[in-house]
Amino acid sequence: MQKDDILRLLMESKTGFVSGEELAAKLGISRTMVWKHIKALRGSGFGIEAVPSQGYRITMVPDVLRKSEVEQGLRTKLIGKEIHFYPEVASTNTLAMEMASRGAAEGTVVIAETQTGGKGRLGRKWLSPRGNLYLSVVLRPNIPTHKAPLLTLMGAVAAASAIRKHLELPAGIKWPNDIFLSGKKAGGLLTEMSAEPDRVKHIVLGIGVDVNMDLKELPAEIRPISTTLSAEAGEKIDRSPLVRRILTELDRWYQVFLKNEADVLREWERLNITLGNRVAVSGGGRTLEGLAQGIDSEGRLILELDDDSLRQVAAGDVTLLKGR
């Protein structure tokens, strides 16, 4: 699209300026057409100044995700070879599952600015105001179904690593797959699967990260236990390069997973904030308390109960308790 090409040329310019004449020549269009596109870009929130004898220059970029910006410089082997952007969907996971069952290629990514029916773990809702990240990835690993939970751990490793590398924030993982910063939740993952009796057909890995939203958008009861990347970084975050970094880390960690899943578990252990703590795990109407000792080869949490017996937990909500 010519509008995207103009944006790209302006963003790539070393001085910041590109003349109308140059834009027109590079795109093979008239200067009047260039002017019309500049007006349209201003209409969608860009600040673009026009300086006589120098040209146009971007002064402000609106907080919207652009496909062209995410794709620009994305050097992944598999993840994000095809990216679908939507201003609004019910749930990127639901849409990606539909695409997967219609044959979408492995690595296909669905991203939305907002979700009207965002889904969280354990049947909960995932509030999805604008300014955050909501993305889902189609995967087609040749693995037995009981190994599927490991892919959620892989996704958590990729998301936490991306936040650490891109923003230098000390993101950690609370079992099984909550992204934590300063003791508060900043994101989560939800995996959905279609399977034959014992093999995975396809998996959708959904990632939600709270980036720029105002925490007041959340209900009062979860506000004190939630945070956003911008609150932690102390500034607004440009989401496109962050998406690129998340896709890059997913690409990398998915390949590691396919070669040797133990390497993913080792990295999960390095980034986790659960093990070694006394925890309460609730789910299915009951709560177990004990020492979080480790995770097994299928990603289940190993709890040492107060009578010294060991218990493996496959799903639940973990609260870190003080004292051992």
Q: Given the rule CB under 6 A, which residues bind ligand BTN?
A: 91-93, 115, 118-121, 124, 126, 134-136, 178, 188-190, 206-208
Neighbours of 314 (CB within 10 A): 13
CB of 17 to ligand BTN, least distance (A): 39
CB of 89 to ligand BTN, least distance (A): 8
State which residue, 7 or 89, has the beta carbon closest to ligand BTN: 89
Beta strands 47-51 and 200-209: pairing type? unpaired
- Which helix (H) or strand (E) is 248 found in, with range? helix 239-259
CB of 174 to ligand BTN, least distance (A): 10
State which residue, 95 or 303, has the beta carbon closest to ligand BTN: 95
| Three-state secondary-structure class, residue 234 | coil
CB of 196 to ligand BTN, least distance (A): 24
Given its phi and psi angles, is residue 126 left (phi above 0), alpha (psi -120 to 50 degrees) or beta?
beta
- Which helix (H) or strand (E) is 41 found in, with range? helix 31-43
CB of 162 to ligand BTN, least distance (A): 15
CB of 57 to ligand BTN, least distance (A): 35
State which residue, 204 or 291, has the beta carbon closest to ligand BTN: 204
Tell me the residue nearest to ligand BTN as measured from the CB: 188
List the structure tokens of 279: 């925890």
**Cβ density class 251-267: b for 16+ within 10 Å, e for less:** bbbbebbeeebeebbeb
- Which helix (H) or strand (E) is 150 found in, with range? helix 149-167
State which residue, 37 or 113, has the beta carbon closest to ligand BTN: 113
